Amino acid sequence: MAAAYDGTVTSPPRIGVLALQGDVREHLSMLREIGAEPVAVRRPEELAEVDGLVVPGGESTTMSKLARTFDLIDPLRQAAKDGLPMFGTCAGMIMLADRIEGGVADQETIGGLDVVVRRNAFGRQVDSFEADLDVSELGTPFHAMFIRAPWVEGVGPEVEVVATVATGPATGRIVAVRQGHLLATSFHPEVTGDARIHALFADIVRSGG
């Protein structure tokens, strides 16, 4: 069993990327750009050595099955409960959600975010789009890319809505949330060239959530 997260943060922060499937390389590169020490995480013992964890975009059902195969799903759940800062993007948002709409019957999640997330809410790959978002913790709009993205249909009382869609048919849909040490976005900040949301997560890691 991996050691529990004890709240100790290294300098620079050692931030892992769950490296089972999805946009692992892009997140590692973005974390390196902001001055963090990026680490690929595939085993429980590697999870125990990081100060924070990014759960990348990809395919949420595949990711959950691989997490079970690699004996990671229970250590991930425990780490989230213990306060390890986690940042989920797209499929990673689904992985951090307590409840999923549109998932498969046996789909497992890490959980911790008191939200209901609708899987593939914005449509198929051909429905991918870009949009400028007003993100509550950033000074200027963030140009976001949505690829087979989920959205948040409901939030619990302790969840902060960080960003919503401002224009178009999906106006008002929640696409970024935070609950203490957990941050999640429907979109893919790792492919935009804008490192501000990764920097925001690094600040969460440094502050211990």
Question: In this predicted model, what pLDDT tens digit does every residue of 75-117 receive, in sequence order?
Answer: 999 999 999 999 999 999 999 999 998 767 778 999 999 999 9
Domain that residue 30 falls in: 14-206
Which is it for strands 86-89 and 52-55: parallel, antiparallel or unpaired?
Answer: parallel
38's enclosing H/E stretch is strand 37-41
Q: Is residue 20 part of a domain?
A: yes
Query: CA 90 to CA 57: how far, in whole Å?
Result: 5
What is the set of active-site residues? 90, 188, 190
What was the pLDDT predicted at 7?
59
Please state the rounded mean pLDDT for residues 37-59.
95
What is residue 161's three-state secondary structure?
strand
Query: CA 181 to CA 42: how far, in whole Å?
Result: 21
What is residue 144's three-state secondary structure?
strand
Q: Is residue 8 part of a domain?
A: no
| Nearest alpha-carbon partner for 126 in 151, 147, 102 | 147
Q: Is residue 126 part of a domain?
A: yes
Q: Is residue 2 part of a domain?
A: no
Query: CA 161 to CA 174: how far, in whole Å?
Result: 7
Only one residue has tokens 């307590």, namely: 98
Q: Is residue 67 part of a domain?
A: yes
Q: Does the structure show a pLDDT above 90 at 124?
A: no
Q: Are 94 and 103 in contact (CB under 8 A)?
A: yes
| Nearest alpha-carbon partner for 16 in 2, 3, 6, 45 | 45
Please state the rounded mean pLDDT for residues 26-53.
96
Q: Is residue 111 part of a domain?
A: yes
Q: Is residue 7 part of a domain?
A: no
| Bigger pLDDT: 57 vs 113 | 113
Q: What is the CATH number of the domain that holds 57?
A: 3.40.50.880
Diameter over CA atoms, the chain: 48
17's CB contacts (< 8 A; 6+ apart) are: 24, 27, 28, 31, 38, 39, 40, 41, 53, 54, 56
Indicate the number of domains in the chain.
Answer: 1
Q: Does the structure show a pLDDT above 80 at 126?
A: no
Please state the rounded mean pLDDT for residues 3-22.
81
Q: Is residue 138 part of a domain?
A: yes
pLDDT tens for each residue of 128-178: 677 788 887 787 888 887 877 888 999 999 999 998 887 766 778 889 999
pLDDT tens for each residue of 26-36: 999 999 999 99
